[in-house]
Amino acid sequence: MRRWFLIRRLYEPAFLGRLLLLLLLAIGGYYAAWSITQWLTLTPDSLRFDFVNYFGGAQAAAHGTDIYADFKRGWGSQAWVVAYIYPPFFAEILAPLTPLGLVTAARLWLLAVQGAFAASLLLILRLHPELGRHGRRLFLLAALGFMPVYLNLKFQQVATVWLLLLTAALWAAVRRHDGVSGLMLALATSLKVSPLFFLPLMARLGRWRVALIGCASLIGITVITVALAPGSFEFFTVVLPRIGLGTANWDNGSINGLVSRVVELSPSLFGGATATVAKGVIAGCATLLIGGTIWFSRGGPDHGWTLRLGMAALTTVLLICSSVTWQHHLVTLLLPLATAMAWVAARRPGARYAVLLVIAYAMCWTDRRVFPLPADLTVHSAAQAALMLAGTSVKLAGMVLLWALLLQMLRLERRRAAGLSLPARAGDRAASNAA
């Protein structure tokens, strides 16, 4: 195949560079046109999914009322989709926008989301100089063509802000700016609780100053924000325990979603203990995968790679183990994807790593709607049940594949450490024999 004309041309650096640039200009133009159109055509109806909930929480914070009143009134199996469910910090950040009205506030927030996404891409590229010119163009092409990015913007979600904070924390940690790194992790945790696990990861990697500064900053931010919003401590006592139960919704791409769907299909699978067994499986998987990832992220000859790969693996596994992982949350996978691409470019471990990385990317891109699933979201036969479980687990399989690749890269870094020590010992023996 390498002798075919078009395939042969792809091995020519100049031709490949021009092709990637052309594709990047095309997808960049589409992204810009799509984004401008969305910004200009925002209406209250298009904001009904997520931002209206953010705005409601911000209004409550601005007026000193209960941020989680709507959540408590409407609690049910899907209550977290129609109420503010984030920590009080996010509501207080948005509170100054509430006098502008829903649509104007949404336009300003959308600019912030777009800015966070652009800043994240630039920082990711600076964090991974191993990518080179072709690698940078390929990553930008993958980022601007990633379906979760468009879903995140469509719903005015906060995932790009998390991506920016996590990337900034990693960038600062690599450059030994421990205070900045700890503060960024504290801010990320104040927006979404799961980044809390990056603090023990830093401790595991021997970055105790980052971990301690992050813990102190998080405590300070939490105390201040709870004090500014009366009753907001109920996020920890009421909201967090309830949303932690997850949902069987077909779009939930986490382990929690898969187990919940199995239980919904077979509520008597383990008799009266089915619900208890399901909770045990979910909790056990989360403990094993998150704890195992933190433990496994250790010791290579290049501490920069160990830090980058460890943080990338933990970012991925947190999405796998989250109570709810919608596809727009997968925007944060751009950091692990870039890290994996840079490692492949630097270490050149073989074509299979690049192939598996492409497959993982494609699976995370894929939406369940490409499968012939029932339009009424109701399973009517065993065949439909099997197809539903498979079709709704593609994103989960893609995340697991990416996570496994990152762990393998960490393992190879440790083997590299062992391999680097062997020549020196062999040399010592040779010098001793010569003497």
Alpha helices in 95-174 (DSSP H): 102-127, 132-144, 147-154, 159-174
Residue 186 has pLDDT above 90, yes or no: yes
Does the pLDDT value for residue 150 go beyond 60? yes
More confident residue, 53 or 32: 32
Cβ atoms within 10 Å of 39's Cβ, excluding its own: 14
Task: Report whether 211 contacts 199 (CB < 8 A).
Answer: yes
Helix (H, G, I), strand (E, B) or coil at 52: helix
Q: Nearest to residue 412, comparing CAs of 355, 340, 358? A: 340
Mean pLDDT of 74-85: 63
Angle at the Cα of 357 from the Cα atoms of 403 and 291, rounded to 5 degrees: 5
* Residue-level pLDDT at 46: 82
pLDDT at 37: 94
Left (φ > 0), alpha (ψ -120 to 50) or beta: where does 379 sit? beta
Q: How confident is the model at residue 214 (pLDDT cuts 50, 70, 90)?
A: very high
Structure-token pair, residue 390: 């498979």
The residue behind tokens 């890269």 is 409
For the record, the structure tokens of 270 come out as 């383990």
Q: Which residue has the tokens 């980052």?
A: 210
Q: What is the DSSP letter of 301?
A: S
425 pLDDT above the threshold of 70:
no
For the chain, what is the largest distance between any 2 Cα atoms, rounded to a whole number of angstroms?
A: 84
Is 183 exposed, middle or buried, given 0-12, 13-18 or 19+ CB atoms closer than 10 A? buried
More confident site: 59 or 247? 59
pLDDT of residue 431: 34
pLDDT at 427: 38
pLDDT at 332: 96
Residue 340, SS3? helix
Residue 423 clears pLDDT 50, i.e. is over it: no
pLDDT at 49: 76
Confidence of residue 271 (pLDDT cuts 50, 70, 90): confident
Domain positions in the chain: 246-416
pLDDT band at 120 (very low <50, low <70, confident <90, very high): very high
What would the DSSP string read from start to end of 41-97?
T--TTTTTTTHHHHHHHHHHHHHTS-TTHHHHHT-STTGGGSS--S-HHHHHHHGGG
Indicate if the pLDDT at residue 330 is higher than 90: yes
Give the chain's mean pLDDT.
87
How much is the pLDDT for 421? 43
Quick one: pLDDT band at residue 430, thresholds 50, 70, 90? very low
72 — pLDDT class (breaks 50, 70, 90): confident
Q: Could you write out the DSSP letters of every residue in 298-338?
A: ---S-HHHHHHHHHHHHHHHHHHHSS---GGGGGGGHHHHH
How large is the average pLDDT for residues 44-72?
A: 87
What token pair was written down for 32? 């810009």
Confidence of residue 298 (pLDDT cuts 50, 70, 90): confident
Helix (H, G, I), strand (E, B) or coil at 297: coil
The string of pLDDT tens digits covering residues 187-199 is: 999 998 999 999 9
Contact 54, 94 (CB under 8 A): yes
pLDDT of residue 244: 75
pLDDT (average), residues 3-21: 71
Q: Answer yes or no: are the C-beta atoms of 124 and 136 closer than 8 Å.
A: no
Question: What angle, 0 to 180 degrees and rounded to 10, lies between the N-to-C axes of helices 274-296 and 394-434?
Answer: 30
Q: Integer distance in angstroms from the first to the last C-alpha of the chain? A: 54
Give CA–CA dist 81/181, Å, rounded: 32
d(CA 118, CA 122): 6
pLDDT on residue 163: 95
pLDDT band at 388 (very low <50, low <70, confident <90, very high): very high
Would you state the pLDDT for residue 379? 87
Amino acid at 187: L
Give me the amino acid identity at 144: L
- The residue-averaged pLDDT of 272-278 equals 89
Q: Which is more confidently placed, 6 or 264?
A: 264
